[in-house]
Structure 1
Amino acid sequence: MKWKLPFTKKATGIKPKKTKTREWVDAILFALIASTIIRGLLFSAYAIPSDSMKGTLLTGDYLFVSKISYGPRMPFTPVSVPFLESTITKDSIKTYWDGIKLPYLRLPGLTEIKKGDVVVFNKPEEADPSYKRPVDARTNLIKRCQATPGDILTIVNGQVYINGKAAPNAEKSQTSYEVVTNGTDINPQGLKDLNIEVLGQNASTYAMTVPKSSLATLKGFSNIKSVTPVVQTPGDYDATVFPHNEKFKWNQDNFGPLVMPKRGWTVPLNDSTMVLYRRAIELYENNKVDVKGNDVLINGKVAKSYTFKMNYYWMMGDNRHNSLDSRFWGYVPEDHVVGKAMITWMSIDSAGTFFDKIRWNRIFRTIN
């Protein structure tokens, strides 16, 4: 008589059925991994926090930012809590662990950063030692690229020039004007319809932020006597403007010329170039810089020149007189670049009523 072996799932190769709890854990784990990869390598969401890009982008706009456009940047701090900002709560509790820090690495992208692109990047100002934050934990900003590596940038009376040619202004860019009336009030609804913001008033003289597209209409109002751009005088030194040194008497409306550092570009080191480029050499490219008499020492050795290891960009807001941008903290290193702003997927007006809280005309709108 032959004995039959007992029938078991193990013997037949059939795996035990997962429990409902195990199925849920596996599904959540898969979703976390997939979403982390998508957010880290393909795109992420970003909210507009200020008016620096007003006209093109509004406070309350929510964007999709393409990371694959310029190439996904690998994390500097790989150990962090997914989907949270680098710090949370009023006590600024960190959501990352900086015990492991990786060097800068960017995967190949679809294109290079071009002049006119709207770019999300980490705030260069937070490279200062007082912030003590790794690059990918710094505040995200969004501005328009005005100059790329190797370009010579100049600003004359508010107009940007690149390599001696006037740069195209963004279609919906805006700046401030002094508006003088004949003494009668301006219709507030008319200004609202033109997206014109009144910054202040002294009798019949107003300070206004005016979009380029509304300028001709404003000048045509019957009670308007003059509309004059507000521009700082050339040669008036503004200590808040980069490079924050009286050797260069620049201001936000009259600036430069300044050469954008480019990977492989060698600059001679002297009094002037040290003022312009020391920040990049020391803070962004992580060198120890000392000046002893007429000698510049880089990592303890006397240097007559320096060759840059990264590319640098010049970023400015479309709302020119209400934007803290490269004019104030200088050029943006390539390792700070997050991605390209592509689409506005949602827009919420915090000042709107219940029925017009959502700006429906801005949903799934491409960004130019």
Structure 2
Amino acid sequence: MKFPFRKKEAPENAVKRSKLREWLDAGVFAIIAATVIRTFIFEAYCIPSGSMERTLLVNDYLFVSKVSYGPRIPMTPLAIPLVHNKMPLTKYMPSYSTAVQWSYHRLPGFTHIKRNDIVVFNLPEGDTVALEIEERSNYYDLVRRRGREKIWENYQILARPVDKRENIIKRCVAVPGDTLRIRDGVLYINDEKAFIAPESEMPYWVQTADSTELNTDRMDELGLIDAPVTGERKGYFLYNLTPANVATFKSFPVVKNMELDIDKDTADIAVFPHDTAYYRWNEDNFGPLVIPKKGQTVAVNRNTIEIYRRIIQVYEDNKLEEKDGRYFINDKPADAYTFKMDYYWMMGDNRHNSTDSRYWGFVPEDHVVGKAWITWLSYGKDGLRWSRFFKSIK
């Protein structure tokens, strides 16, 4: 009697795989599977800085969903699997080759970026870095302050493709077509006050009745991480506070006065678009500014060129020149430009401790990596933060 589903025995002359070969096969399969998951489904990410505190904390480990907005097809396909842009155990060695570069394509996702989503994206100004001081200083800011020639003489300069620029995380506060404005530290979108995250922080000068800082044990109970800043104003202490903290402080009998710390400089060259002759903006007083939308046409002239220069020249890869007061795009006279991509405006919830779109401008759609999904692990100075395990991110 024949059994059609009976397992067939290997022929006597079949070559048996060695244990090493079995381990190698299993390892290759695991790397391929992990790479596919990381590229197209979700990726692990660690919060490196306090720009999103206290919505997200340093040493929160996240899963970032690639399928939410649609997975981005790799633009730099020749790369070491499971490594971002540097080879492990090296300082500067790239983990990729630019010999092959693919154009931007994104598979369909479940949704589009919405206002107030927390998004992981490639740093727009990360296209050029000074390797020795990359973690401390922005290349473009260095050039503005010290001059391009001096920076190129003293540091190793590296250009990176879009998908190999550093990954950072911020909240999307404005989407294509929105009008953004900041007045005395308050963000407005389309002339309405923007959403304030419950755990977002702003700096407040706090005056106490006895001119001493508040009880440190009480501050620990409120979750205040940093010690207050002193010395700039006699009798005042600078605390980074959430909206709930502000209400609690106002209830303390010892607190005499509280004032939001506002940047009063009339203009800051570090702030986008880095043109203080036409834009007298700083981090707390900014705009109005319309966020570019695909298909939208804008005027190109001396008043607008610094707003759109990087979009035209870098993000959308056009040749841009100025001759005798006129602008030429791809060698043709141009007094207008039509955007090829959507753009977004990203800001940190810890507003005065965040380098964000106020400093480097718009985030192009091809820089978007994915949507922050859940915190799967978190630890701080006192050990594991169990309450943050598998916490959804909002």
TM-score when scaled to structure 1?
0.92
Partner residue in 1 for 2:246 = 215
DSSP 3-state at the match of 1:141:
strand
- The 5 Å alignment of 1:176-187 reads 176-183=203-210, 185=212, 186-187=214-215
Partner residue in 1 for 2:222 = 194
Partner residue in 2 for 1:122 = 122
Instruction: Give the aligned length.
Output: 353
**Letter of the structure 2 residue corresponding to residue 93 of structure 1:** M
Q: How much does 1:14 deviate?
A: 9.1
Q: How much does 1:315 deviate?
A: 0.2
DSSP 3-state at the match of 2:321:
strand
Q: How much does 1:288 deviate?
A: 1.1
Partner residue in 2 for 1:6 = none
Partner residue in 2 for 1:148 = 175
Q: How much does 1:42 deviate?
A: 0.3
Partner residue in 2 for 1:226 = 257
Greater shift in the superposed pair: 255-264 or 198-207 = 198-207
DSSP 3-state at the match of 2:230:
strand
DSSP 3-state at the match of 1:93:
coil
Partner residue in 2 for 1:4 = none
Distance (Å, rounded) in 1 between the aligned partners of 2:35 and 2:314: 30
Distance (Å, rounded) in 1 between the aligned partners of 2:166 and 2:317: 20
**Letter of the structure 2 residue corresponding to residue 313 of structure 1:** Y
Instruction: Using the aligned pairs only, state the percent identity.
Output: 47
**Letter of the structure 2 residue corresponding to residue 26 of structure 1:** D
Per-residue CA distance 1:310-350 (angstroms, 9 max, x = gap): 1100000000000000001001001110000010000121x
- The 5 Å alignment of 1:103-114 reads 103-114=103-114
Partner residue in 1 for 2:65 = 66
DSSP 3-state at the match of 1:272:
coil
TM-score when scaled to structure 2?
0.86
Partner residue in 1 for 2:196 = 169
Unaligned runs of 5+ residues in structure 2 are 1-8, 130-156
Distance 1:335 1:240, change over 3 A: same
Partner residue in 2 for 1:257 = 288
2:369 is matched with which residue: 290, 315, 338?
338
Partner residue in 1 for 2:98 = 98
2:266 is the alignment partner of 1:239: no
Q: How much does 1:16 deviate?
A: 4.6
Asked whether the equivalents of residues 211 and 236 of structure 2 are also in contact (C-alpha less than 8 Å), the reply is no
DSSP 3-state at the match of 1:35:
helix
Unaligned runs of 5+ residues in structure 1 are 1-8
Q: How much does 1:221 deviate?
A: 1.4
Partner residue in 2 for 1:367 = 393
Per-residue CA distance 1:82-136 (angstroms, 9 max, x = gap): 1223014463111111111111111111100000100000111123485400111
Per-residue CA distance 1:3-36 (angstroms, 9 max, x = gap): xxxxxx99x7996543333322222121111111
Asked whether the equivalents of residues 122 and 139 of structure 1 are also in contact (C-alpha less than 8 Å), the reply is yes
**Letter of the structure 2 residue corresponding to residue 176 of structure 1:** P
Q: How much does 1:231 deviate?
A: 1.2
Greater shift in the superposed pair: 205-214 or 54-63 = 205-214
- The 5 Å alignment of 1:288-303 reads 288-303=319-334
DSSP 3-state at the match of 2:229:
strand
